[in-house]
Structure 1
């Protein structure tokens, strides 16, 4: 193949559209996120939880009490988004809000006995999600590791933008 022929071949190839929807990382992440979260919905419904409420419960099952601001930071949510969720969890009898023993200006969340008991049912969620997704566990773990690494690299940029 001559240099002239290679140049002719490139000239006839269609140009790559940098703005094509199917080339956008944000679209792929948003679509994948909605799809995966959609898998959780029928699994969490019998527990009386939405996916965001499930995330709050996961944080509390991991460690309690936690302040609202700590949970908001952990879940990368605005406190204003978290407050209505917490109120619904409290109305369902799963959590209680109380003044922090370290700082009375802070509200801390603590699980109720019903909230702690729900953990046993929640332990069945991950295997159900894996089965519903139909994806190999190792592949999911690799994806999780890659996304976590990206989030860790983005965090300092978000902190600089906020500060």
Structure 2
């Protein structure tokens, strides 16, 4: 796959259709698509690796991690850390969530229109105790533009 980071310029400035094709390929690959859908449905838009693995059961942990790395490298996702959780047994401290750039790309490809459905599916999905604990664990705040794009925590903003 060609370099698809937001900082690559050579071919993409000259050929926006090629850039669009590459982004569509990035977003539509099966495992990456599942990761994105899981994050869109997550109540906080930040999920631990264990949560993402739970919602991608047909793929190995290694495959999910590889695809998370691709999405991070492409700057669609970032790793957000919540250091206080490092001291608490059984709580995740590293979470994956969208970047501002990632939200822009998802908007361009109409992924954001599916958020209500993704959230409904996520809410109705049965989760083992460990995943529920991860889902409700304290976590860092997403950057304001990302939170605003999803209208998160309207009661607090």
Q: TM-score range by the shorter chain?
A: 0.3 to 0.5
TM-score (norm 1): 0.44
Between Structure 1 and Structure 2, which shows a larger proportion of helix residues? 1
Q: Which is greater in Rg?
A: 1
